[in-house]
Structure 1
């Protein structure tokens, strides 16, 4: 049986590779565009891999030959239309839009989503995006990220925006320019980051915070926690950004051993480092673990399952499921992408060959913990939330220390076509108890009263101290609770408290900036495995 697992390579796409076309397939392509007819949705495979500008050769990341053949822009757009109508979770809320008039497949894809709102009034689909397939493939084989070496902590995406430096990688362009944790960005290339509210301004902010290429130069003006304003010039580069960081064994005030690890993304290259961390914690006899997911936007559900198993062990899991997926009403019992009977995602107990998409025979190490503390902010999303929710489903004691998470119980199969990889919401996940309705996030509470509330302590991300410091607010709060079984009264830095007193506008007011260079990091991603 094949189980859902993380997306790996763009070459291993799941919606079919080939099929017929409205042109002469025997010649390998066609320049005759298919015709749009309202209400008629042909099999997407009639259009797949027929490209306006077909690639040639092999992918440098997967070694696979590109499947592209000559087609037209309309082929690419009609593929997206049929594929979305068949697999999109909220397909009933899609308008049937004629692709004519859209300048690119990407532009057309951007409108193939619901405009509906959640119960809280937020946009239901905040996760729809696409990216170059080369970026997607590279992310699955490397921890190298193009940019400045900054993990942004974006606390408000709309005016008045709050864009902080979460941390700067040692030796990165940001580090060498003197940027450090807690710096608040005021302008990018002279554009007002805090209050600017035109689309041109938003585009400039996004371009400056998340450069598309290496060797781009941008000017950032920041205010430090000490109140000093300075301007720096940054040149983007390929920067190694380890996903597993600051691994250490600490001692709480009562002498208990506590393992701590910062984990910033559920991506395949992190598997070995997570296994190493768990082995270290086991060898040193930790009682509790503090898992720092404050800047972890999500990623692989399979790796999320593996980590959840390593932190809980067989005595807690007892063969129960990790996550159950629900697709649209066309597919109550069948996975619309694989065509197989739906089966839940288990707690994976083995190592995984992510390149081949196969379980190995090597058992994962496990811990026997008293408690698991998870450090959270609004940047804790999707596969990170699935870990918390999945462990709650098997009654492991998980405590949140920090802030409400982002609220993304959804995911998708990345699907590549003609050099672009598309992400369209296809499923909702729930735990062994059937709960998955944390649309507005999971919230730490000393006495939980709602399903979306998790036992724990509310603490604000403390920019006055380095991540991983025992004096930093979130980690200090977890260590205090580990020793005393109660939440501390936290005293945040005065400078930080002043900044965070700025009001965050109501949902729907103002234009939003991006929160990540690669939105894939903010989602739950799956792929079948044998």
Structure 2
């Protein structure tokens, strides 16, 4: 949510919200001295009244004397899982997670026999975790000397977020046991931008492309264009998108991806509908319009030149599939068949942009990240607040150890490849051989930004 909405009339509205604390005419709300908590809280209230999706549910007379974060929470609708606020001068106010601090995620699962183990499911490339030797599929026995259990999992995850270094006891899973145990120290640090992972599989003359996309940052279109150029020149006939750990990002980047997959679309084909409060109204955007809101993006025509024009696509998902990644699934459906494999998605059917004080000099250092719009596809379909359910439910933890993403024997990918090449029926259900008790990225997913841009 680091970019700002650029449609001119809404930008004017946004600037008016930034200045409203100096120009209010509401006599029922008292004036407060600049620099006070009350002054900041009133600015937050004014901004939220104008843009917040659930503005009409906000309390009429909130307590301006509350600490800023508590005041902000007092304005939120019970339906709101995603809005948050940060102080740009205080890193401690930003959402934290194991993934964004150390570059990995894990899941605590219960095996059929009742044994509870902790599995590393994701390690970011060029991250503190990968530099320390952690790999997807490893088993964590201890975190900072504590054995991980279902009862202390949440507490341990929260404790990690307060540290700059963690000590892990890890090993490999083989034949139902942990081997090659070792101690690993992981230091807090920055994870580099994640590369796209692509593979091409061929069997009996039929070619299938696989593309893992970690997130949707602005500026991804050149990399996507290169991958799809390779896919098209190779002549792939099937496509598998792996979005299982994709929290989202820029809607423009999601639109660019869709433009290279869907058949029968043009620059003027409708991509998305945004519906806001009485001030925001309804905004419709075509593929071309949405892509253009990323200033560094290739044009629709440049991207569409490498379109695969497929009539179906397979998408791998989990409960960590959120926001812009969910838009890809929902907004392709008016144009083609989307076969979803894995677990239901997070359910972030909404978009927003960040709001901050643009006065010079800046008088307020807090930055608001509210829910502003609900999102819908070209057919007006949305409302997936409980997540988008897959046609084929497959638990990636059913087969251990977890294999690298893109490995044809990896559980989710092998399920789809089998369906493509073996022509299995469309009613099979993998079931749950194991029970997922906790996942370290569950809280973090709630703060993933869906960029209106």
Q: Same fold (TM over 0.5)?
A: yes
Secondary structure, aligned partner of 2:184? strand
2:173 to 222, 225, 230: 225
1:8 has 2:10 as partner: no
1:148 to 102, 115, 119: 102
Conserved 8 A contact 2:350-2:373: yes
Deviation at 1:106, TM superposition (A): 2.9
Alignment CA distance shift 1:370-1:89 (3 Å): closer
Deviation at 1:78, TM superposition (A): 0.7
CA distance, structure 2, for counterparts of residue 439 and residue 299 of structure 1: 18
Deviation at 1:486, TM superposition (A): 2.7
Cross-structure match for 1:248: 199
Cross-structure match for 2:450: 524
Alignment CA distance shift 1:169-1:381 (3 Å): closer
CA distance, structure 2, for counterparts of residue 114 and residue 155 of structure 1: 33
Secondary structure, aligned partner of 2:325? helix
1:236 to 170, 184, 188: 188
Deviation at 1:172, TM superposition (A): 3.8
Cross-structure match for 2:226: 276
Greater displacement, 409-418 / 7-16? 7-16
Cross-structure match for 2:19: 19
Count of residue correspondences: 422
Cross-structure match for 1:472: 410
Alignment CA distance shift 1:293-1:21 (3 Å): closer
Cross-structure match for 1:338: none
Deviation at 1:184, TM superposition (A): 4.9
2:308 to 350, 354, 367: 367
Alignment CA distance shift 1:257-1:435 (3 Å): same
Return 5+ residue gaps in structure 1 as ranges.
1-5, 26-33, 51-69, 116-123, 137-144, 336-341, 446-456, 505-511
Give the alignment of 1:6-405 within 5 angstroms: 8=3, 14=11, 15-16=14-15, 18-19=18-19, 21=21, 40=28, 71-96=35-60, 98-103=62-67, 105-115=68-78, 124-131=79-86, 133=88, 147-152=101-106, 164-170=119-125, 172-185=127-140, 188-190=143-145, 194-196=149-151, 205-208=157-160, 210=161, 216-222=164-170, 224-226=172-174, 227-228=177-178, 231-242=183-194, 244-251=195-202, 253-313=203-263, 315-316=264-265, 319-328=268-277, 330-331=278-279, 334-335=280-281, 342-348=282-288, 352=292, 354=294, 356=295, 363-364=302-303, 365-394=306-335, 396-405=336-345
Conserved 8 A contact 1:323-1:429: yes
2:442 to 485, 499, 515: 515
When the two chains are superposed, the root-mean-square deviation of aligned CA atoms in Å is: 4.1
CA distance, structure 1, for counterparts of residue 2 and residue 410 of structure 2: 34
Deviation at 1:280, TM superposition (A): 1.1
CA distance, structure 2, for counterparts of residue 347 and residue 9 of structure 1: 19
Structure 1 runs of 4+ with >6 Å offset: 10-13, 34-37, 160-163, 488-492
Secondary structure, aligned partner of 2:166? strand
Deviation at 1:35, TM superposition (A): 12
CA distance, structure 2, for counterparts of residue 162 and residue 408 of structure 1: 29
Deviation at 1:513, TM superposition (A): 6.8
Secondary structure, aligned partner of 1:374? strand
Conserved 8 A contact 1:350-1:359: no
Conserved 8 A contact 2:106-2:440: no
Return 5+ residue gaps in structure 2 as ranges.
92-98, 358-363
